[in-house]
Amino acid sequence: MSKLFISTTNCGKAHEADIFGMSISNPFTVTVSGDGTLKLWKNKLLDGQQPKEHVLSKFVHKTGVHHVDVFHSMERGGIEVFLVACVSFSGQLFIYSVDLGSGAFQELDLLTKSENQKSYWCVRFFKSDDLNVPHKLVATDVKGNTIVWNLKIFREEGEADGQTSEEKDVHLVLKGEIPSPEPNFATCVDVSSKGLIVTGFQDGSVSVSQLETLRPIYVFEGFGIKGTEESSNTVRDVKFSPLGELLAVANDSGSYGCVTLYETEYGERIGNLTVPTHSSQANIANFTHDGWVFGISFNSTGEFLATCGYDGKIRVWDVKQKERVSTLNISAGDIEIEDDIVSKDELGDSLKIPPVMGVTFINKGVRGGVGSDTNEGLSCICLDRSVRWFREAGGV
Amino acid sequence: MGIQANVKLRESLHDFKHGKQLRTRRLLMDALTPCAREIRLTKPDDSEQLAAEISTLLSLMKNAVEQHGEPLHIVLGLYGKQVKQPMRFPFYGFERVAGVSADKTAILISLMKRVQRQLDLKETCTVRDVFYINVELYKNQRMVTEWLNALSEAFELPHRDMLRVVAAQKGLCFTPIDLHHGDSMILKHQKSLIPFMDINTHFTGMWSGVDRVVVLEKDAVFNTLVDSLPVSASALIVTGKGYPDWRTRHFLNKLMLSCPPRVVFEVYTDSDPYGIDIALKYVQNCEKFVYNCPKLCYKGVLIQELLNDRLSTRGLQLLNLTIRDINFGMRLLQRAAGLELPGNNKRVLTQELQRQLFYSKKAEMNSVSNSDFASYFSKKIK
């Protein structure tokens, strides 16, 4: 069975430089870029409204920003919390609180002095649905350590009775660190609802640990085809399925990109997502994209996985069948506003088929417009400095 | 003997003990402190007179020690702008020997003598030549360089090479036209070392035969391009062999000032953070203007060119950035973000560095276009 996605909105020249990271929340699609800014694109647009007219922008750091994640939660007493965490190329971790009414950014200084001296790379929030389990903030550093904080929303009164007041006071309590056995660049991280934490490394290994004890339980190594290209298998993204049963790992295999699925109970490899490489049926090699896979995203039910890559394609996979159900070919020319098309960069390099740097599923009812309440959608960022939004066709 | 009798001898410690009475310790110390000769190395009135200045200084020192028996107190630079700690030679004083040791003074004086000789003969020699004359004294070449720099700073010379002791040439160039400078020239169609230049050097030649000046990080690639006739026919090719020495940067600065404005300047380096740093070293470094070449544009090799190009280079391996590379890249990016760079350079260098870090990959410039840099280059300049 195939799925069809149609473009709803897109925005060229969304940033001044390459867009490296994205995250989606109910009110905003959030992007960060090499130009050093963080942008919050309003999701609920009326017909005819342009994304560029409804964007909150915040300059973060002059070296550029590459990873971002959003925390949006309705806490006790109807207190709404909207946090954005992002990491700059200088290795600093920035956390902002955004007032959804006024759109004002407030930079929060939540890290201690020694924590601020680390060189961070990837950052992820984990929203806990259990009142007794605190929310988490997880970050990796360049040396390969994974640092975990409890994210507390309310001021804590006495320690003895564990009573918390109703006063909002966002703060972090360091939970611990999962050290890397040897220095190894930690490229990506994710947290599952089942209490696991996964870190992907540059050398191709993936380590899964328990969130509660921070103890490693599995290490997966050696993906992709071995041979001349085996030395290049950098892990670029890791994601748990919404229920935490599955783990998807995107890694390089030479100049190709692979996505491998594992089940999390026993750490068994389930299989790869592959496209036929030699004829419509024959697979010689197990590749997901003809280029590195930069981003993967499960939909809300965990039935489908979207992958994107350097080949300028987004693919949607049926997770159970491990079959491809849709391919979106991105082209620089399909930006609606002609002036915003970037088909060449400053050095004259063609961006006609721009590499896709990130993809995420959009839940039903997040975006505005026709059909968005009944259908899921996709959003992606591309190297032609664009952000694009799609929705599944049909059912309108 | 009779003559000696007329000489008035200075009082010794013995005299003070037994004859003259000095009431305080302070007075005793003053009486025992020899009268030192302060020799100060400062900017000569006329930098052409450097040789005369140095010879005056040397004879002053000689006279002080030989004729007057006075210790030297050598100071480099003006008040408030002292280049090095003052030196006392021979050492005197009541505290334990501290400060600059005597062999430093020996190095300085020996270098001054050498420089004086070079200036008199109007000859140029290299730091290495000087070093090998007295290895025991200098210990290492860096010491020679350090004290030459100190001399140059004390005399406030616009260029250290005016001392006529210069660093050994590292850079290479290849020119499609004969380049004249002063009495000598760089011959066309052959690889030459970067020539010695002084502040007045100006290159002349048939500039119509040069379209571009190409700077390369590696000499292997330099050789490839030189051997590729279509490229080398109209390009002046320069390499600094990795991190460039001052002379290569100076040479580019001279070329920039000598050649007509239509000539384009391009730099190609490895696709890693060090390559970016090397490009930056050519374009802008914090030193004097004579070592900068702001006209130079960073052109590659870009990491995405290597990626996009992979059909023609099957099996091309991009290497992982090491943690050291990543840390270096992050720091460099911070530094670059604070710089004011001419033209598109800042944007391009920053973007390239960000991509290298984000992809966490690097590659050598030799591997582009199926290890054929010449064809990559021809495509690029089309």
pLDDT for the residue B310: 58
pLDDT for the residue A210: 93
Res. A229 pLDDT band, cuts 50 70 90:
very low
pLDDT for the residue A350: 79
Q: Report how far apart the first and last C-alpha atoms of chain B are (Å, whole number).
A: 90
pLDDT for the residue A139: 95
Sole residue written with tokens 């994205």: A22
Res. B182 pLDDT band, cuts 50 70 90:
confident
pLDDT for the residue A382: 94
- β-pairing, A356-362 with A323-329? unpaired
pLDDT for the residue A319: 93
SS3 content of chain B, % helix, strand, coil (to 5): 50, 15, 35
Structural domains in chain B?
A: 34-166 (1.10.10), 172-381 (3.40.1360.10)
Q: How far apart are CA B40 and CA B173, in angstroms?
A: 41
How does pLDDT run across A250-302, given as a tens digit for each residue? 988 877 888 999 999 888 888 888 887 666 666 666 788 988 899 999 999 99
Partner-chain contact B321 A91, CB within 8 Å: no
Nearest CA in chain B to A186: B323
Q: How far apart are CA B253 and CA B291, in angstroms?
A: 6
> How far is Cα of residue B239 from the mean position of the Cα atoms in its chain?
16
B279 interfaces chain A, CB cutoff of 8 Å = no
- pLDDT > 60? residue B21: yes
The Cα of A45 is separated from the nearest Cα of chain B by a number of Å equal to 32
- pLDDT > 90? residue B190: no
pLDDT for the residue A228: 42
Res. A224 pLDDT band, cuts 50 70 90:
very low
The answer to whether A143 and B323 are in contact (CB under 8 A) is yes
- Backbone phi, psi, residue A218, to 5°: -130, 150
How does pLDDT run across B101-128, given as a tens digit for each residue? 788 888 999 999 999 988 888 888 888 8
- Taking each helix axis from N to C end, the angle separating B273-283 and B323-337, rounded to the nearest 10 degrees, works out to 30
State the alpha helices, DSSP H only, in A271-314. Answer: none
CB-count burial class (<10 Å; 0-12, 13-18, 19+) for B284 = buried
- pLDDT > 90? residue B370: no
The length of chain B is 382
State the alpha helices, DSSP H only, in A159-250. Answer: none
pLDDT for the residue B315: 54
How does pLDDT run across B142-173, given as a tens digit for each residue? 889 899 988 888 888 877 878 888 887 788 99
Give B300 or B310, the one with higher predicted confidence: B300
Question: Which residues pair with residue A24 across a beta bridge?
Answer: A29
Res. A241 pLDDT band, cuts 50 70 90:
very high
Give B81 or A141, the one with higher predicted confidence: A141
Take residue A380 and report the two structure tokens written for it.
Answer: 């992606």
- pLDDT > 50? residue B206: yes
B172-174, strands of its sheet edge to edge: B191-193, B172-174, B235-239, B212-216, B264-268, B296-300
Chain B residues with CB under 8 Å of A17 CB are 347, 350-351, 354
Partner-chain contact B333 A18, CB within 8 Å: no
Chain B residues with CB under 8 Å of A187 CB are 360
The answer to whether A237 and A293 are in contact (CB under 8 A) is yes
Share of chain A above pLDDT 70, in %: 92
How does pLDDT run across A40-78, given as a tens digit for each residue? 999 988 878 889 999 999 999 999 999 999 999 988 888
Take residue A118 and report the two structure tokens written for it.
Answer: 């680390």
List the single range of A153-157, B136-140, B292-296, B374-378 with lowest mean pLDDT.
Answer: A153-157
Res. B14 pLDDT band, cuts 50 70 90:
confident
Partner-chain contact A347 B330, CB within 8 Å: no
Please report the ipTM that was assigned to this predicted complex: 0.92
Partner-chain contact B348 A346, CB within 8 Å: yes
Nearest CA in chain B to A251: B359
The answer to whether A222 and A271 are in contact (CB under 8 A) is no
The pTM score is 0.82
CATH class of A5-156+167-392: mainly beta
Res. A388 pLDDT band, cuts 50 70 90:
very high
Average pLDDT value over all residues in chain A: 88
CB-count burial class (<10 Å; 0-12, 13-18, 19+) for A227 = exposed
Share of chain B above pLDDT 70, in %: 91
Provide residues of A within 8 Å CB-CB of chain B. 17-18, 20, 34, 62-64, 66, 89-91, 119, 142-143, 183-185, 187, 202-203, 228-229, 231-232, 234, 254-255, 291-292, 310, 345-347, 349
